[in-house]
Amino acid sequence: MSNLQYFSLKGNNINGPIPGTFKGLQNLQGLYLSNNGLQGSFIEELCEIERLSELYLDNNKLSGILPTCLGNLAFLRTLDIGSNSFNSNIPSSLWNLRDILKLNLSSNGFIGNLSPEIGNLRAITLLDISRNNILGNIPTTITALINLEVLSLSHNKLYGSIPTSLGDMVGLISLDLSQNMLTGVIPKSLESLRDLQNINFSYNRLQGEIPDGGNFKNFTAQSFMHNEALCGNPSLNVPLCDNQVKKSSKEKKLLRKCIIPIVVSTILIVAGIIILKVKRRKKVENTLERGLSTLGAPRRISYYELVHATEGFNESNLLGRGSFGSVYQGKLHDGEMIAVKVIDLQSEAKSRSFDAECNAMKELRHRNLVKIISSCSNLDFKALVMEFMTNGSVDKWLYSHNYCLNFLQRLNIMIDVASALEYLHHGSSISVVHCDLKPTNVLLDENMVAHVSDFGIAKLMDEGQSKTHTETLATIGYLAPEYGSSGIVSIKGDVYSYGIMLMEIFTRKKPTDDMFVAELSLKTWISGSLPNSSMEVLDSNLVQQNGEQIDDILTYMSSIFGLAVNCCEDSPEARMNMADVTTSLTKIKTLVLGANRV
């Protein structure tokens, strides 16, 4: 054992502290203990393995402080301790690792300021300190990291301005400063970063004009939302800046003087005519439309508009049927495409659930949830009016004979779904359980962005509760064990369903496939392939599509399948939460994009 160079026990159920006997392995270069249940502290004995080059302790239950002796590991190139419970200051000795390439400290409880000595890490390519409690300014010395490709400082308590000199970090591919308290403007110097592909400044207190040069032309409103006073291109959901408005202000003043009196007179006349017509129409509509609801939105869509939009709920417009009713495609009089979910009222329980679903959906707003436009309800008819998803369900695309989703599309879809579930579980004051997550309930828009749909059996849990019982049946194959045995529903059940779907989307095998009999299930099939046989379970379409480059994909598939298996642990408490799932998959995507660039 003394000559052992690489040691891996990742993705098991190992508990307890890290054994101090590792210090005897003086030739060890790689130690991989990720995705276990290791507890206790970061033992100083690890610092005695002088030749250690890669150390992976992520996704465990380690806590306490990081020892200063870490700075003595001169050969260390990768240190990943993300998703643990470390809660100390980051030791200053860590910034002495001048040759380290990848450093991941994310999803812990690190405190204090970022040291100016961070600029010593001249060779580093990936630096992730997101989801901690780091305070203070972003040190300007960070711009000395000219080889850095991925920088994430999101979900901290950073304040002050974004250093203009970030524009000198020419290697940056991904920059995430979201969910902080940053102020000031977004530096125009960032326009010069030619390789920048992902950027996120959302949920800060930034103001001023959003740069529009360089790769900023490719970024969407999601990168800048929820700031104090940003302005610029209206396509980014921000107002025009003052300098853009002033150009036409003189012309507008002249128009106001001449046109306003004429317009006001015309409006008064037209308003009088409309009021008379509306009064007559309401007498008829009040008897035909009882109980129209709009989920707090200004849109009012009547039953008769829905009949017209769907051509009388014609079978040719039927998109699909589920346990709670049917969904129809429709077209409103203004040309807007909609999807109408008509609730099956044969069951009194299902009828009652409609109001619960409306209450749940009313407060839910997320880019990866299907948007509810309105609802229509009377004694004999209940329907939700939703935005229409042009590209249909993930299930349709996954099992299509005409098209094969590529690796990055599948990864993006599962990141979108994870983000939606993270919001449902942790993003509002009341946690929402979806309870029936599967590929048919995930829809794709025109840009192949995934949106989670069908909350017909979602259950709201009051504050302080983590579990509830239900008589509603979810879909066989995606059910968590605790649901099947005792009917217990919780957000951890959604995590289980997500894990099954994550396996399915990369294997193209349904959990109910005929091959899964007796003791063999989709979960055990995947588990048996880890860590070195992912090729045997990977969708053959991906293998054919990527040819000689398939080895590049297999590099990431072991991590993805390991994450899926973790989500499907028999014990609900042992499963990951969706915030950590989102973080893990986003990291994998960043690495994929970086590899493609090279």
Active site residue ranges:
436
Backbone angles phi, psi at 228, to 5 degrees: -80, -50
Half-sphere exposure of 211 (CA within 13 A, CB side): 18
| Residues making up the chain, counted from first to last | 598
* Amino acid in position 597: R
Q: Identify whether the C-beta of residue 226 lies closer than 8 Å to the C-beta of residue 206.
A: no
Angstrom distances, CA of residue 485 to CA of 401, 480, 481: 37, 9, 6
Q: Give residues with Cβ within 8 angstroms of 394, minimum separation 6.
A: 413, 439, 440, 442, 443, 444, 450, 505
257 is in an annotated binding site: no
Using only C-alpha atoms, what is the Rg of the chain? 27
What is the dihedral angle through the alpha carbons of 445, 451, 456, 462, rounded to the nearest 10 degrees? -150
d(CA 319, CA 588): 34
Best CA proximity match to 6, nearest among 30, 41, 26: 30
CB 59 within 8 A of CB 35: yes
Strand 157-160 relative to strand 181-184, pairing: parallel
Tokens at 527, concatenated:
């588990």
DSSP classification of residue 221? G
Do 305 and 338 meet the contact criterion of CB atoms below 8 Å apart?
A: no
84, 110 Cβ separation under 8 angstroms: no
CA distances from 36 to 63, 454, 565 (A): 14, 34, 12
The pair of three-digit structure tokens given for residue 565, joined into one six-digit string: 């298996």
Query: How far apart are alpha carbons 549 and 570 in whole angstroms?
Result: 35
What letter does residue 369 receive in the DSSP assignment? B
Distance CA 186, CA 195 (A): 18
Binding residues for ATP: 341
Binding residues: 341
